[in-house]
Structure 1
Amino acid sequence: MTPAVPESQVLLTARGLVKEFSVRGQGGAFGRKRVLRAVDGVDVELRAGQTLALVGESGSGKSTTARLVARLLEVTSGTVEFQGEDVTRLSGAALHRFRSEVQVVFQDPYSSLNPRHTVERIVTAPLMYQGRPIPGGARAFTRALMERVGLDPDHSERHPAQFSGGQAQRIGIARALAVGPKVVVCDEAVSALDVSVQAQVINLLRRLQREEGYSYLFIAHDLAVVRQIAHRVAVMHQGRVVETGERDALFASPGHDYTRALLAAVPRIRPEWEAARRARARTRETAEGKRETT
């Protein structure tokens, strides 16, 4: 079941976002510098309680856009407004407050979690960094968050390497939720996981959104995943948004050639293959049942 689109106000808006990087051409350190425009005039908006998916192939600028929105990168030009306030020039305590409201879950859970720290230290670190008290104490707070994201609270003293990839990503989600954000940026947060684990993490994110009203900026290249979680979709190509729309309308009737190409590349299950798979499964179940009765 795909999520319904709730009526809600605009929470976060990006207007005219541009990000340029200075890179060297051929010749390595002695090559001439040139400017690479990774994000080129991007406009997007995220509504409260909704999921906006930014999709596109590698190098399209979607992850750079996410980092600009979260203030992990500084904009070259353009604005990011959160609840009506331009956050692109914030610093000090004001920037801390903004980062409490907008948190990030990264693609590779193992590289984004300190391997020397326990889950308890990882989850409580954002609060400690911001000088905020930990409600109920570190142990109780961590156990409650672990249970909330589907982890065993008794494992709060374990280290990231002692968890599977899906479990480690749940730790990353718990860390993001620790400061009580309104927006969670999921930067390819399920792309490194097995398909079955992807579905579990997607279901977790959807449940948390239903229960707590989080807004997600969901970065992905897999449109099959996007269809499960997004309310709106913005398609990026060569640093620009080429099409934006409600999920169902965009999937049913894409207006841009690039969007159509992306949708055409999504693997589809042919009905005859699915029927054959189900027939084989029924045959195995029948054979196993006969063995059990003999």
Structure 2
Amino acid sequence: MSEPLLRATHLVKEFPIMGTGGLLRRPATFRAVDDVSFEIRAGETLALVGESGSGKSTTARLAARLLDVTSGTVELDGEDVTALKRSELNRFRSEVQVVFQDPYSSLNPRHTVERIVTAPLVYQQRTIPGGPRAFTRSLMERVGLDPDHSQKYPAQFSGGQAQRIGIARALAVGPRVVVCDEAVSALDVSVQAQVINLLRDLQREEGLTYLFIAHDLAVVRQIATRVAVMTQGRIVEEGDRDSVFGAPRHEYTRTLLDAVPRIRPEWERQRRANAGRS
């Protein structure tokens, strides 16, 4: 079996909070991520699922080096990137990109699509292949947008189209890993399916590896290779998609599955059969 492309080991993230204690308030911390470890091999999609506040998005930001870890390590292709200095992060940013939840808030409303898509290359002082206009048009075609709209602004696009712009921006630097942080949760169901299909097509064509953050299990089953279930900052269950959906081992996973409509009859039959044996 191949070595993991992305590996997180014993990740911990604590945030400072103001403690209680009358006039003499003591500083305290909140542990949002508590000893989280996972591995993703090239071409896989690992879905981190859980309720709001479970720590999944914080974990994603640690993996993408958008947040510094309190302790633990993140490795890309065997290299520990946890302690990279700001000046050394450009190389890592070329390998790991993020698609955020709200496409409008993550896109500069004052910039055209061309400027948004080419911004990562400009920031990294890299040559833009073919020039900004041709490069942007090519990327827009790849994500299913009209290349003639490269001079438009984010507000002139629908939510699904704006998210495609975000995906194009992530692809601009040629990453190997894309972190999708609730990338479809703000979209209508029909648009979600279109964006999921796009992500799967890009994965197949480009060999991308995804860390996919979601709370919607119906979305997860469409794209995940493996699933890790988080609650209270910890991973409580991890396995291949069919095993987690068909024979969940942890009570919290069963609770999540019971809270949504049955999303595949054969999984439900398998889950009921397994529950009857326990």
Same fold (TM over 0.5): yes
Q: Deviations over 1:210-245 (max 9, x none)?
A: 111000000000011000000000000100000100
Cross-structure match for 1:234: 228
Number of the residue aligned with 2:101: 107
Query: Contact 2:218/2:263 (CA < 8 Å) preserved in 1?
Result: no
Q: Could you say what secondary structure the match of 2:40 adopts?
A: strand
C-alpha contact 2:113 2:165 (8 A) present in aligned 1: yes
Unaligned 5+ runs, structure 2: 266-278
Letter in 1 for 2:203: Q
- What TM-score comes out, normalization by structure 1 length? 0.87
- 1:104-154 deviation digits (Å, cap 9, x = unpaired): 000000000000000000000000000000000000000000000000000
Extract structure 1 runs of 4+ deviating beyond 3 A. Answer: 25-32, 268-271
Three-state SS of the structure 2 residue aligned to 1:244 is strand
1:57 is matched with which residue?
51
In the alignment, what sits opposite 2:38? 44
Structure 1 gaps, min length 5: 1-6, 272-294
Amino acid corresponding to residue 172 of structure 2 in structure 1: A
* Aligned residue in 2 for 1:258: 252
Q: How many residues of Structure 1 are paired with residues of Structure 2 in the alignment?
A: 265
Of the three residues 188, 197, 201, the one matched with 2:191 is 197
Deviations 1:84-119 (A, max 9, x none): 000000124431101110000000000000000000
Structure 2 vs 1, CA of residues 96 and 269 (structure 1 numbering), >3 Å: closer, same or farther? closer
Counterpart amino acid of residue 100 in structure 2: F
1:163 aligns with 2:157: yes
Please state whether the residue corresponding to 1:218 is helix, strand or coil: strand
TM-aligned CA distance change 1:28 to 1:137, over 3 Å: farther
SS at match of 2:5: strand
Secondary structure in 2 matching 1:54: strand
Q: Does the 8 Å CA contact 1:8/1:49 hold for their aligned counterparts?
A: no
Which residue in 2 is equivalent to 1:274?
none
Deviations 1:21-60 (A, max 9, x none): 0012469998543210000000011110010000000000
Q: Which residue of 2 aligns with 1:85?
A: 79
Distance (whole Å) between structure 2 residues aligned to residue 244 and residue 81 of structure 1: 19
- Identity rate, percent: 78
Change (3 A) 1:270 1:231: closer
Shift of 1:9: 3.8
Where does residue 141 of structure 1 map in the other structure? 135
SS in 2 for 1:169: helix
What is the aligned-residue RMSD (CA, Å)?
A: 1.9
Q: Partners of 1:237 and 1:152 in 2: how far apart? A: 41
Output the TM-score relative to the length of structure 2: 0.92
CA separation in 2, counterparts of 1:118 and 1:56? 35
Residues 271-290 of structure 1 aligned to structure 2 (within 5 Å): none
Larger Rg: 1
8 Å contact from structure 1 (residues 79, 86) kept in 2: yes
